[in-house]
Amino acid sequence: MSQHLTTTIVVEEMTRRGYRVLPGPAVEVTGGAADSRLVQPGDLFCAFPGEQTDGNLYVADALRAGAVAAICSRPPEGDWPGKTIVVAPDPTRAVGELAGAWRRACNPEVVGITGTVGKTTAKEMTAATLADRFRTHRSAGNLNSREGLPLALLSLRRDHEVSVLEMAMDSPGEIGDLCRIAAPRIGAVLNIGLTHVSKLGSIEAIQREKLDLVRNLPPDGCAILNADDPRVVSVVPELKCPVMTFGEHESATLRRGPVTENGLLGTSFDVTYADSTERVTAPLPGAHTVPAVLTALAAAIALGRTLRGAASAVYNANVEGRARVLTAASGATIIDDRYNSSPASLAGALLMLRGLKGRRIAFLGRMAELGEHEVDEHRKAGEVAAASCDVLFCAGETCRPLADAARSAGHPDVRWFPARDEAAAEAAAILREGDIVLVKASRGEAFEAAIPLLEGRQ
C-alpha cells in the first residue's frame, strides 16, 4: 500500500460524493497546488475561483507542468488520458472533502496553530521540535486558509504520526471550517490583534474567530494559550478540554523568565513547568519569537515529552523560519522578514534590530488590513522605529505617517519615498560592510522585489 494519497483514492472519494470524475492511471499524489506556475510533478491542482482570475483557465497549464490530477468546476479543453480530472461545482468544498477523508485515513495527531502574529514561525518551530521524536508533517508556506489548508493535507502520508497545521482566517466561520477538515486534537492560539480588522470589522470579531480553534477541540484534546494575552485566555471557562498556558504571567503553566537575546543566533530563557525548570536556547532571533518557542514546548509536552526532552528538541531544531538572513555584495547583512507585517510583528522585529551591533537600517512598507486603525498604527510603529534604527527608509503613501512620527520622535535620518524600488535603490547605495538591514512589509507590497536591489544583484 502506498504511503501517499493516490489518484485511485481521489477517484473513489470524489465519485462517492457524486462528482463527475474522469479517471486517469493510478499514481501517487504527493502534494497540492492552486497556482499553475508553482505546480510540482505529482501535485493535485485545484482550480479555485479568484478575485482577479479563475483557476479554471490554468488547469491545462497545471497538467502540462506535472500535476497528476485536477479539481475544477469545468473540464479543461482537449483530452487528458494520463490525468485524473474531477469536475465539481465548488472546487473549494470538494478539495476540503478530499483532504478530510485523507486525513482520517492517515489518522495523525493534528496540532493546529492560529493567532494574529507569528503563526508561520510557530508552525515551523513546532514541527521542527516534534520531528525530534515523531514522524512529522507540516503545512507548507502559507497554505493555511479554506483553500490552502486542504492542499497542505494532500502531502500527508500514512506513516506520519503528527501533522502541524497553520490556520488563518479573514472571513467569519473560516477557523471552524478548517477544524472540520483537519480535526485538531491540540490547538494553540498565540495572540489576538488587529490584522484583518478591515474584513471582520472589529477586534471582538477577530477574537471570536481565532478562539474557535480551541472551542472545536475534543474533550481529550489540549488547548495551548498565551497567558500574557487577556483576549486569548478569556476563553478558558468555555473549554471542555485540558488547558496549557504559556508566557511570563505568574499563572502560566509554562512560565518563562527573562529573555536573553543572542543576536541573530537566537534567544535563551528559563522555563518552569510543574516542579521543573530548564534553560531553553532557541535558534529564532528576537524576543518576539519566544511565543513560537513556548508553543513548540507546550505541544511537545502535550504529546508526552518531558520539559527537558522538549527543551533539548528545541535546541536541536532545524527551523525553516520566515525571516532569512542574507549577505549583500556590499557586505551588509539583510534580515528578509518581508513576508507579512502587523503592528505586533513589526514592533518585535524593530526591537530585535535595536539589539544588534552595527549600523541598523529599517526598510519598511505598509502594514495591511488595519482598517480605520491604519494611520494610528503606522504612527505608533514610527515611534518604535525612532528608537530602534540608525537609518529609516519608508516606502508608500501609507507609510508617510510612520516616517512623520519617527521624525517627530527625534529620529535624525528618516527617508520616505513614494515607491518601493526608489527607496530600495537609495538604500542599496548607502550600504556598507557591517550594516544590518531589516526588511518588513505586508505581503501585498511585494517587497521581495526590493531584495535583489539591496543585495546588489540589480
Predicted confidence (pLDDT) per residue in 389-423, tens digit: 999 999 999 999 999 999 999 999 999 999 999 99
Predicted confidence (pLDDT) per residue in 195-242, tens digit: 656 666 688 888 999 999 999 999 999 999 999 999 999 999 999 999
Beta strands in 157-296 (DSSP E): 162-166, 186-189, 222-226, 243-247, 254-256, 260-261, 267-273, 276-282
Geometric angle at alpha carbon 206, from 201 and 210, rounded to 5°: 160
Q: Which cell is 196 given?
A: 484583518
Q: Which cell is 175 given?
A: 477557523
Q: What is the mean pLDDT of residues 265-293?
A: 94
Label residue 371 by pLDDT band (50, 70, 90).
confident
CB neighbour class for 65 (10 Å; exposed up to 12, middle 13-18, buried from 19)? middle
Predicted confidence (pLDDT) per residue in 88-104, tens digit: 999 999 999 999 999 99
- Nearest alpha carbon to residue 333 among 262, 420, 432, 263: 432
Q: What is the pLDDT of residue 391?
A: 97
Q: Give the pTM.
A: 0.82
DSSP track, 418-432: SSHHHHHHHHHHH--
Q: What is the mean pLDDT of residues 252-262?
A: 95
In sequence order, what are the residues at sequence separation of 6 or more whose Cβ sits closer than 8 angstroms to the Cβ of residue 411?
385, 386, 389, 392
Delineate the domains of the chain, giving CATH numbers in brackets. Answer: 5-95 (3.40.1390.10), 107-315 (3.40.1190.10), 324-455 (3.90.190.20)
CA torsion sign for 69, 36, 324, 328 is positive
> N- to C-terminal Cα distance for the chain?
50
Alpha-carbon span 101 to 152, nearest angstrom: 13
Alpha-carbon span 313 to 307, nearest angstrom: 10
The amino acid at 141 = G
Predicted confidence (pLDDT) per residue in 79-135, tens digit: 999 999 999 999 999 999 999 999 999 999 999 999 988 898 999 999 999 999 999
